[in-house]
Structure 1
Amino acid sequence: MKILPTLFVLTCLATTPVLAAMKTVILSVPGMTCSACQITVKKALTKVEGVTKTDVNFRKREATVTFDDTKANIRTLTKATSDAGYPSTLRK
């Protein structure tokens, strides 16, 4: 009879999703010069799976991005902006 509760607990633990770590980074996007650029970069980043929030500022030429690090990473973010015509790098 002790086996049934143990199996139930193990099944619950095995099917519980791993908690994702949310990460926020700032990307330098030097090619942004106007509000249209800002919109294009924001749309590109928003389409990346795992991105939950973006704040793009063309005057500072940077994008602040919050994402699930199990679904996205710096490489996918910079690729998205580059593919949209605005190469970016991680701001340190």
Structure 2
Amino acid sequence: MKKLLLTTGLLLTTFGVIAKPQTITLEVPTMNCPVCPITVTKSLERVNGVTDVEVTFEERLAQVTFDDEITNTKALIDATTNAGYPSLVKE
């Protein structure tokens, strides 16, 4: 029984290490003032699973790193949209 529990625990730990974070870039065309990136950043950081956010005002882009087992692109777009800044994935 101990071996089974140890093996199961080891496998669960290993899968957590293998999972890679995803990074996407969102276009946020309605950012039109220097304060807008702060609002966009905070809205994205509130999404569970987001690990890093970098927003550039000049390019009107938000680069977001997240765990795709916890959240998804739609949730990120919804977060910026609900904050008043609709976004879309940059291709």
- Relative to structure 1, the CA distance from residue 14 to residue 83 in structure 2 (aligned partners, 3 Å threshold; closer, same or farther) is same
Taking structure 1 as the reference length, what is the TM-score of the superposition?
0.85
How far has the Cα of 1:91 moved from its partner?
0.4
Unaligned residue ranges in structure 1 (runs of 5+): 1-6
Q: Quick one: distance in 2 between partners of 1:13 and 1:80? A: 39
The residue matched to 1:12 in structure 2 has which SS? helix
Say whether residues 1:53 and 2:52 are aligned partners. yes
Percent identity over paired residues: 42
Correspondent of 2:8 among 8, 11, 14: 14
Give the aligned CA root-mean-square deviation in angstroms: 1.3
Query: Which residue of the partner structure matches residue 24 of structure 1?
Result: 23
Taking structure 2 as the reference length, what is the TM-score of the superposition?
0.86
Aligned residue pair count: 86
Q: Quick one: distance in 2 between partners of 1:78 and 1:27? A: 8
Query: Which residue of the partner structure matches residue 67 of structure 1?
Result: 66
Say whether residues 1:37 and 2:36 are aligned partners. yes
